[in-house]
C-alpha cells in the first residue's frame, strides 16, 4: 500500500465532520485512490447545506491528500463506483446503531453489483459519538461545534446560527 485499488467513500456529508475526515485520511493510506462521492439529493433527508457547499467543504478539508478526489453524484452508489473503476465502497462504522442500516445498504449494493465489495473501517473512539445530525442540532441551538468540524464549516455555522453571548 499504496496499491492500485480505487475505493469510493459515499455520503451526504451534510456537513463533513472530523469523523469523516479521519476515515478518509485513514482510507487514503490504505488505498491507491479514494473518490469521495457527495450525494447531490439524499433520499432520506433534506440537506441543510447545498451541494455546492458540501462539496466545497470537503474539497478544502481534503486538499492535502494527493490521492483523494471529491465529486458529487446523483445516481446509484454502485453506478458511481463503476464510473470511477472502483472495486470497493469504504464506509465508517461508529456504533451498533449504524450497523442495521449499513448492513442493509451493503447487501443491497452487493445485490446490485456483486463485484463491488463494501468495507467498513471502525470510527476512532474519540469520534464514536460524532454525527452530522448531532453537529447540526448543537449548532442550531448555539452550542460550540468548533472541534467537531473543519474550520470552514464552523465559520459557516457561526454565520447561520450566531452564538448566544
Sites of contact with ligand PNS (CB under 6 A) = 10-12, 39, 42-44, 76-77, 105, 109
9, 70 contact by CB (below 8 A) = no
107, 142 contact by CB (below 8 A) = no
Instruction: Give min distance, CB of 163 to ligand PNS, in A.
Output: 27
- Select 6 or 12, whichever has its Cβ closest to ligand PNS: 12
Instruction: Give min distance, CB of 71 to ligand PNS, in A.
Output: 13
Q: Is the dihedral of CA 23, 24, 25, 28 positive or negative?
A: positive
- Select 105 or 158, whichever has its Cβ closest to ligand PNS: 105
- Select 77 or 153, whichever has its Cβ closest to ligand PNS: 77
68, 24 contact by CB (below 8 A) = yes
CA angle (55, 59, 63) in 5-degree steps: 175
Instruction: Give min distance, CB of 162 to ligand PNS, in A.
Output: 27
End-to-end CA distance of the chain: 49
Instruction: Give min distance, CB of 60 to ligand PNS, in A.
Output: 19
Amino acid at each position: 500500500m499504496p496499491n492500485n485499488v480505487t475505493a469510493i467513500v459515499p455520503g451526504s456529508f451534510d456537513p463533513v465532520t472530523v469523523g469523516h475526515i479521519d476515515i478518509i485520511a485513514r482510507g487514503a493510506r490504505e488505498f491507491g485512490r479514494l473518490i469521495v462521492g457527495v450525494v447531490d439529493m439524499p433520499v432520506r433527508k433534506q440537506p441543510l447545506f447545498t451541494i455546492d457547499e458540501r462539496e466545497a467543504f470537503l474539497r478544502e478539508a481534503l486538499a492535502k491528500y494527493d490521492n483523494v478526489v471529491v465529486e458529487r453524484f446523483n445516481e446509484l452508489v454502485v453506478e458511481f463506483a463503476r464510473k470511477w473503476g472502483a472495486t470497493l465502497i469504504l464506509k465508517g462504522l461508529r456504533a451498533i446503531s449504524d450497523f442495521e442500516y449499513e448492513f442493509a445498504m451493503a447487501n443491497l449494493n452487493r445485490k446490485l453489483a456483486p463485484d463491488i465489495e463494501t468495507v467498513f473501517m471502525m470510527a476512532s473512539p474519540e469520534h464514536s459519538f460524532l454525527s452530522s445530525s448531532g453537529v447540526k442540532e448543537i449548532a442550531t441551538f448555539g452550542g460550540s461545534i468548533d472541534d467537531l468540524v473543519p474550520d470552514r464549516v464552523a465559520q459557516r455555522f457561526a454565520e447561520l446560527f450566531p452564538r448566544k453571548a
